[in-house]
Amino acid sequence: MKQLDTVQVLEHNVKELQCQLKSAQIRIAALNEELNKYKEKYRREVDKHFDFKMHQKSLTELNFDGNETRGRYGEDESL
């Protein structure tokens, strides 16, 4: 009789833990979706800033194309 009660209690505990696990997995999936959304938003903002920075640089600097080791008149300043 006592063994039967123990088995029932254990079965109940297993079912309860399975429910908790399922709800935790659902919450994790929702948080992952939200995280991916924020990552994409962050990447878009970084790309916008980078594009704006390059555009601004192209308007104001002679060597905006990445040749940062050249001076104003094309002289080598890498030394």
Give the residue with greater pLDDT, 5 vs 25: 25
pLDDT band at 64; cut points 50, 70, 90 = low
Question: Is residue 70 in some structural domain?
Answer: no
Count structural domains, the chain. 1
What token pair was written down for 14? Answer: 């297993």
Residue 67 DSSP one-character state: -
Give mean pLDDT, residues 18-29: 97
The range of the structural domain enclosing residue 37 comes to 1-61
pLDDT at 67 over 90: no
Per-residue pLDDT tens digits for 40-57? 998 888 877 777 777 777
In sequence order, the 6+-apart residues with CB closer than 8 A to the CB of 37 are none
Residues constituting the chain: 79
CA-to-CA dists, residue 21 to 8, 13, 26, 39, angstroms: 20, 12, 9, 26
